[in-house]
Structure 1
Amino acid sequence: MEQRRLGHTGLRISRLGLGTFNWARDTGEGEAAEQLKVFLDAGGTLVDTADVYADGAAEYLLGRLLDGLVRRQDLVIATKAGSVPDPAHRFDASRGHLLRALDASLERLGTDHVDLWQVHAFDPTTPLDETLQALDTAVHSGRARYVGITDFSGWQLAKAATWQLAVPGTRTRLASAQLEYSLLQRGVEREALPAARDLGLGLLPSSPLGRGVLTGKYRQGIPEGSRAASQQLAPFVAPYLDDTAGRVVDAVTTAADGLATSPLQVALAWVRDRPGVAAPIVGARTAWQLTEALSVEGLSLPSEISRALDDVSAPVHRYPDQDWSEL
């Protein structure tokens, strides 16, 4: 698998990442081990997790696999901190909480450092400079090699990245931004992605398959056992089951038929090769699903197909981005 630099850093990662959101919940240890083996055999290196995935069990499972299945140096391990299971206070990016969470992640993972440590969300109740000081502490102490942010808006991303660049050598520049990005969710193109590119952050798209909808599995209804059929995850998928999304899925399916490939591969190739993207994060329940996603490595979309998909999925940005000269 091709390797890419993460933003304006020296860290090299595989251009597809393996997500572990399902691990220790829908994906057991045996299946997770098979996924990791398939991923490594394909040349993958970036494995993304978080301290709240399965209440920490996903990290613990990855740590067990590191202990017996793979060598630590063969992986680029990314994890996150800052989300908390409290409906009244969902995010805590205070220095104390973040550093305690990092120590707990390292213990579950069974390693002395993570390669990429990410703030899971913007916390409006904590001064941003305090949050960023925790990232500096993590790097200076050797517990994290690189740092990034997740699910920040454009202005939040720009403020955080600019703050870190203001004192070179003392503050640690942000390496990455993990944001949802797909043919069904292109909102990052308005402000967040341009800010990330300008400030040297590599984009790690989450849900690059439009929460599974871009695979085409929902064209004829909701299959049994799918996310949309799950009481817990149905609200997560529902926003992408409308008529607008259906037109995009139809276009992806048409493109896939013309290229003799699958809608999954077309959708994944599109987002993987967008400007500013370092590595989409692919989550799979089974090794078979992951193998299909990894087979996209040999696919590059023809320019005319990319343009057609751009057109059919183009988001509507009005003020202040509307071109008034056309009115």
Structure 2
Amino acid sequence: MEIRRVGASGLRVSRLGLGTMTWGRDTPDEEARALLEMFCAAGGTLIDTAAAYGAGDAERLIGKLVRELTNREEMAIATKAGFVIRGGKRIVDTSRRALLRDLEGSLERLGTDYVDLWQVHAWGDAPLEETLTALDFAVERGMARYVGVSNFVGWQTAQAATWQQAVPGRAPIVSAQVEYSLLARRAEVEVLPAAAAFGLGVFPWSPLARGVLTGQYRGGVPRGSRAASDHFAWFVEPYLEQRSRGVVEAVARAADGLDMSPMQIALLWVRDAPGVTAPLLGARTAGQLAPALATEELALPPEIASALDDVSGGANAGRTAS
């Protein structure tokens, strides 16, 4: 698999990442094993997780499988801190104490001395300078090689990057993780331009619009899908509205014309969008992951990419400029 540089940093990762939000919960251990084996065999190196995923169980499983299946030094493990779910409520705590406590727990669960990329999971109420001192500490102590932010809007991304660049010796922000797909293009307004201005890599999460761009919901909600589950239905429902259907149908038509699956069309559009480092694949089964990995030798014709731009919200300024 092609390896890409994360922004202007020295970190290099595969151009597709393996997302693990469902590990330790909806993805059984043996299925996770099959996913990681397949991903590594295809040359994938980036595994993205978080302290909050499966209440820490995703990290435990990753640590176990990495030790059993591959060489830790060959993998780029990214995790996140500052966000938890307690009593069904989402709690964001980006204080220095909470972040470092999360990181210590992540390292223990992962069974490693360091993570390759440590990210603040969300913007919080703690003073930004306090949050960022935790990132400095983690890099200084060798607990994290690089640091980034996740789910920050444009001005938040720019403020964090500016603060870290202002004084020599601070750990620079090297990446931004944000939702980005044909059904979620808000990142193009501010986040992607901010990332480009500050030399940050971009990791799109949910590049398939929470599964909707695969076309599986064209005829209703299938049994066993995320939209059919009690704890993930809320996650999918925003993209099941009428306004999304035209985009899904356009993706399906492109797939028919290019002899690809809708999933592959949607993934290629994100993977090769300007500024993107690596989309994060949230596959729950090896059967879902295989066609995504099969896109390595594929690319969208420019006219198809532009047509999808138009139908999903307008021309991509970055693509036009390039």
Same fold (TM over 0.5): yes
Q: Which amino acid aligns with 2:55?
A: D
The residue that corresponds to 2:232 in the other structure is 233
Residue in structure 2 matched with residue 131 of structure 1 by the alignment: 131
What amino acid maps onto 2:207 in structure 1? P
Contact 1:136 1:171 in 2 (8 A): yes
Return the alpha-carbon distance in structure 2 between the equivalents of residues 260 and 292 of structure 1.
12
CA displacement, residues 134-153 of structure 1 (integer Å, 9 cap, x when unaligned) = 00100000000000000001
CA offsets, 1:188-230, max 9 Å, x none?
Answer: 1111110111111111000000000000000111111101111
Report what 1:19 is aligned to.
19
Residue number in structure 1 paired with 2:318: none
Name the residue aligned to 2:146. Answer: 146
> 2:131 and 2:256 mapped to 1: Cα distance?
47
1:49-128 equivalences under 5 Å are 49-86=49-86, 90-123=91-124, 125-128=125-128
Are 2:45 and 2:76, in contact at CA under 8 Å, matched by a contact in 1? yes
Which residue identity does 2:100 align to in structure 1?
Answer: L
- Take 2:153 and 2:262, find their aligned partners in 1: how far apart are those partners? 29
Distance 1:285 1:89, change over 3 A: closer
Moved more, 184-193 or 89-98: 89-98
For 1:121, give the aligned amino acid.
A
For 1:3-47, what per-residue CA distance to the aligned partner results, in whole angstroms no more than 9, with x for missing partners?
A: 000011011100000001111111111111111010000000000
Q: Which residue of 2 aligns with 1:28?
A: 28
Q: Which runs of 5+ in 1 are unaligned?
A: 317-327
2:319 counterpart residue number: none
Question: Is 1:244 the equivalent of 2:240?
Answer: no
The C-alpha deviation readout for 1:228-255, integer Å capped at 9, x for no partner, is 1112111111110112110000000000
Alignment check: 8 A CA contact 1:187 1:315 kept: no
Which AA in structure 1 matches 2:247? V
Looking at structure 2, the residues matched to 251 and 214 of structure 1 have their Cα atoms a distance apart, in angstroms, of 10
Distance (Å, rounded) in 1 between the aligned partners of 2:66 and 2:188: 36
In 2: Cα distance, 1:2 partner to 1:16 partner: 9
Q: Secondary structure of 2:156's partner?
A: helix
Q: Given that residues 252 and 263 in structure 1 are in contact (C-alpha distance below 8 angstroms), is that contact kept between their aligned partners in structure 2?
A: yes
**Range that drifts further, 23-32 or 127-136:** 23-32
Distance 2:296 2:111 in 1: 31
Partner SS, residue 289 of structure 1: helix
C-alpha distance in 1 between matches for 2:83 and 2:255:
37
The CA distance in 1 between the partners of 2:115 and 2:150, in whole Å, is 16
Matched letter for residue 283 of structure 1: G
Find the aligned partners of 1:13 and 1:282 in 2 and give their Cα distance.
Answer: 14
Match of 1:321 in 2: none
CA contact (8 A) 1:186 1:315 kept: no
Number of paired residues? 315
Q: Could you tell me the TM-score, scaled by structure 1's length?
A: 0.94
What's the offset of the Cα at 1:84? Answer: 2.2
Query: For residue 112 of structure 1, what is the amino acid of its counterpart?
Result: D
Q: 1:216·1:263 contact (CA, 8 Å) conserved in 2?
A: yes
Supply the distance in 2 between the matched residues of 1:177 and 1:44 (Cα, whole angstroms). 20
Letter paired with 1:104:
G
Three-state SS of the structure 2 residue aligned to 1:90 is strand
Q: Post-superposition shift, 1:289? A: 0.7
| Native 8 Å contact 1:34 1:287 kept in 2 | yes
Deviation at 1:66, TM superposition (A): 2.1
Structure 2 gap ranges (5+): 316-322
The CA distance in 2 between the partners of 1:27 and 1:201, in whole Å, is 31
Please state whether the residue corresponding to 2:60 is helix, strand or coil.
helix
Mark the CA change 1:315 to 1:134 in structure 2 (over 3 Å): closer, same or farther: farther
* In 2, Cα distance between equivalents of 1:172 and 1:285: 34
| Secondary structure at 1:211 match in 2 | coil
Trace 1:1-327 onto structure 2 (pairs within 5 A).
Answer: 1-86=1-86, 90-123=91-124, 125-168=125-168, 170-314=169-313
Paired amino acid for 1:304? E
Shift of 1:89: 6.7
